[in-house]
Structure 1
Amino acid sequence: MFKSSMTRANALLLALVLALGFSGGAMAQEVPQLGTDFDENQLSLFVEVQSDIQEIRVEYSERLATIEDPEQATVLQEEAGQLMVDAVEDKGLEVETYNMIAFALQNDPELLERVQTMMN
């Protein structure tokens, strides 16, 4: 039961991070400064999972656009969040590390440039 709650919390946090993208605006100011000392493997895994995350985001955005029932929309959002968590974990990256990298990208232009270079 505890693991299920943690997975759901991780899924919701990941969905929030992904919804913010690389530009969190005001949200970034509320997040404590995180270390940006990520190794090459962590950044590589972060970059690798982006295509999977984008596919999930596109698919579920399209599906959500057709939903009028708020409860059904919530179920779809939770499903998308869990799929994103699974995608991150399947690449061998912890969700917390993924989130730390995503938040760090908002505050560290050098890290952002490094990740963008790796994505190209």
Structure 2
Amino acid sequence: MQPSLKAFLSAAAVAFGLSTTAVWAQAVPTETAPAQAPQAIQPSEAQIQQYVSAARKVEAVVQDYQPRLQAAQDEVARKAILQEADEKMVTAVQSDGLTVDQYNGISIAVQQDPQLRERITTLFNNSKGQ
């Protein structure tokens, strides 16, 4: 699992004002070498829709696992919770037809492009009641 995955998945949520916290950015580093940072991509209309759907699912995973992570008694339990949450976030992203690299690339684009951020925020907020 890429050590930066949690940070990028949560950064996307935080970037456009979703109700996640920085707890995922504080993830325990792994012993693996850091992967090359993803590059921003200009998403197609279909990818924007997939991204919004995936972001909703990622948010749900974060909300589900945050209390578990905060209640973890030690680093071993914390790492196990983070790994399980990572796997669920990856599955959530892939279930909407995106790769993790595509999701992360769109997340970076969202952070860099105010118009894209506004568009995705609007779509995300409009999809909350559905």
TM-score, scaled to structure 1: 0.77
| Separation (CA, whole Å) in 1 of partners of 2:96 and 2:39 | 26
Unaligned runs of 5+ in 1: 1-7, 24-30
Q: Is the 2:40–2:107 contact (alpha carbons within 8 Å) kept by the matching residues of 1?
A: no
- Confirm or deny that 1:103 pairs with 2:103: no
Larger relative contact order (Cα-Cα within 8 Å, sequence gap ≥ 6): 1
2:9 pairs with 1:18: yes
Alignment deviations for residues 46-99 of structure 1 (CA, whole Å, 9 cap, x no partner)? 001122111110111011111121111011101101110011001111110100
2:89 matches 1:84:
yes
Structure in which a larger fraction of residues adopt helix? 1
Which ranges of structure 2 fall in alignment gaps of 5 or more residues? 17-36
Q: How many corresponding residue pairs?
A: 103
2:38 and 2:85 map into 1 onto residues whose CA distance is 26
1:71 aligns with 2:64: no
In the TM superposition, what is the alpha-carbon distance from 1:18 to its structure 2 partner? 2.6
What fraction of aligned residue pairs are identical, expressed as a percent?
31
Structure 1's consecutive aligned runs of 4 or more residues displaced over 2 angstroms after TM superposition are 18-21, 31-35
> What TM-score do you get using the length of structure 2 for normalisation?
0.71
- Name the residue aligned to 1:45: 50
